[in-house]
Chain A
Amino acid sequence: MYLINSFRFQSAPSASYLLDSYSSEGGYSMRKISSTATNCIRVRRSSDNAEQDIGFVSDELDTTSLLSFVGANDGYVTKWYDQSGNGRDAENFTAVTQPRIVNSGVLETKNTKPAIYFNNDWLKHFGQVIPLATNPFSYFTVSSHETANDTGAVFKSRDAAQSGGGNYVANFHDRRTDKVNFLLSASGTFYRADLSVQRNTSDYTLLSGFVDSSNNMSAFDNGATGTTDTYSGTYTSNVLMIGDPTTGSGSFQLVGHIGEIIILNTDESANRVAIETDINNYYSVY
């Protein structure tokens, strides 16, 4: 009589990745959030401006390869790879406005995890449309803004042909009493869903926002319920900007760290707690 151990023939259990469970339109993270992702970021080192792709080790940024490549110099992110599978990588082809990942040989971190530091810097997805221009959609971001009583854009999505403010969708990290989380400018009118409370600290905050198929907006911060709004009118959106490359009165440049941005073309408010828990378990935001 032969006994067969059924466990012997099973493949090893695979790790659970967030974007394997939720189809995303844009996924940017310092950890591996998709089983198909291979590269995390592309980095330029300040010593000779050479660039190298950096991937993952044990589902986290390969910091050994990163620090070996950069050495005692500065390292700047030239590309943040989109892990959604849609190829919507965010790039910056201009050296002086690229965000930083290594500062004089020291890894940029927030809450002990690798984090990209923006100091009026930005990354853009120049090509295919990130479909924030139609409802429903959802976003989840992990960011800090390190200037008191100020606000910075974690991301903006707008029509590239617009000049000035125009119509757009934005996720702000707002430390002001205005406490804006989710702003939508449609047909020249602003609609907004705010934080639950003013958070005038330099700490990481997990921000999420949702639009359902009836134009109803809602927002949450560190799992707490913020305010709601309902927009009307139209807007267009065909370029995604991480940070804010614009200048002038309509500019909200970020001075702080970003660890993760996930954009979905579905209303994931019913799955909000599960997604936020996955993110918070890694970044220890709250």
Chain B
Amino acid sequence: MIITGYKYNTEAEAIAARKQCADHYGLPVSPDDVTQYWVDYQEASLNSPVFWYIVYDESIDFLGTPTDFEVVE
């Protein structure tokens, strides 16, 4: 499956990118809120080597130019 998005070699990098998006939108607004993140990351656990990625959305253009990559299903 070809995914358009942002690819990270470590989970820590993906977590940092997720936090960057949440911070950009001021999330969470309140500690009691359900919404904690703007986007979430996923693990390409069947790829070798394993990597982590965030699917592209136009609302996170500030992460840079997305790329296309294959995620093994």
Type the 1/0 row for A252-286, where 1 means its CB is closer than 8 Å to any CB of B.
Answer: 00000000000000000000000000000000000
- Tally of contact residues, A, Cβ under 8 A: 22
One of A48, A92, A164 near B34 (C-beta < 8 A): A92
Chain A residues closer than 8 Å to B30, beta-carbon distance: 50-51
Q: Within 8 Å of chain A (Cβ to Cβ): is B20?
A: no
Closest residue of chain B to A249 (Cβ to Cβ) is: B73
Chain B residues closer than 8 Å to A248, beta-carbon distance: 1, 71, 73
B31-64: which have CB < 8 Å to A? 32-40, 45-46, 55, 57, 59
Chain B residues closer than 8 Å to A98, beta-carbon distance: 35
Q: Are A49 and B35 in contact (CB under 8 A)?
A: yes
Q: How large is the interface on B (under 10, 10 to 19, 20 to 34, 35 or more residues)?
A: 20 to 34
Type the 1/0 row for B1-38, where 1 means its CB is closer than 8 Å to any CB of A.
Answer: 10100000000000000000000011101101111111
Chain A residues closer than 8 Å to B73, beta-carbon distance: 164, 248-250
Chain B residues closer than 8 Å to A250, beta-carbon distance: 73
> Given A51-B34, A164-B73, are A95 and B29 neighbors across the interface (CB < 8 Å)?
no
A249 to B45, CA, bound (A): 16
Closest residue of chain B to A95 (Cβ to Cβ) is: B38
Interface residues in chain B, defined as those with a beta carbon under 8 Å from any beta carbon in chain A: 1, 3, 25-27, 29-30, 32-40, 45-46, 55, 57, 59, 71, 73
